[in-house]
């Protein structure tokens, strides 16, 4: 459907006012009686050589002054080059630590110490699969330890916001 010059000027004015394409689509229908799909509105705006205004992204929060007048330090710490472990979480004799820097090909990784004292490295890969690499070849933790490990790991990752 084609628009006359007056209708095109209205659309140009709406774009200048910062309206979104969906809002223009609704106004075309309500004010001008012209029903268009969202894609048709996109093509119309493109044909008119108009560019919708971008919404200004939110500004990052300003650090609040710490007691004593010194500016507060950001809560995020940059990744460290060396591999350090976060504090350990422990449930039922199973303790879990999360590495600050994940091992290669892993999204997140760390170490687990099972109730019998055996240690293994754990990791979650890009597909979300959990892997376990025990230090002692052939070691298999008990089913109860595995359940405690998974529960502890889930809690620790939730605490970290992951």
Per residue, what are the HEC states of 115-162?
A: CCCCEEEEEECCCCCEEEEECCCCCCCCHHHHHHHHHHHHHHHHHHCC
Secondary structure (3-state) at 65: strand
Reported as a single tens digit per residue, the pLDDT across 70-118 is 444 444 444 343 334 444 555 567 888 888 888 888 889 999 998 888 8
pLDDT digits (tens, 9 = 90+) for 15-32: 888 888 888 888 888 888
Domain ranges of the chain: 5-47, 89-160
- Other beta carbons within 10 angstroms of residue 132's beta carbon come to 14
């Amino acid at each position: 459907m084609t628009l006359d010059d007056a209708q095109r000027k209205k659309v140009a004015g709406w774009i200048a006012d910062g309206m979104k394409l969906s809002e223009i689509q609704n106004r075309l229908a309500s004010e001008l009686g012209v029903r268009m799909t969202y894609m048709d509105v996109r093509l119309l705006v493109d044909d008119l050589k108009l560019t919708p205004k971008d919404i200004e992204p939110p500004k990052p929060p300003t650090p609040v002054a710490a007691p004593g007048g010194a500016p507060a330090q950001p809560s995020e710490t940059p990744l460290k080059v060396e591999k350090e472990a976060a504090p350990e979480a422990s449930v039922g004799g199973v303790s879990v630590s999360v590495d600050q820097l994940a091992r290669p090909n892993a999204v997140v990784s760390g170490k687990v110490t099972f109730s019998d004292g055996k240690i293994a490295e754990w990791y979650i890969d890009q597909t979300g699969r959990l892997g376990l690499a025990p230090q002692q070849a052939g070691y298999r933790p008990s089913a109860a330890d595995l359940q405690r490990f998974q529960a502890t790991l889930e809690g620790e990752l939730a605490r970290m916001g992951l």
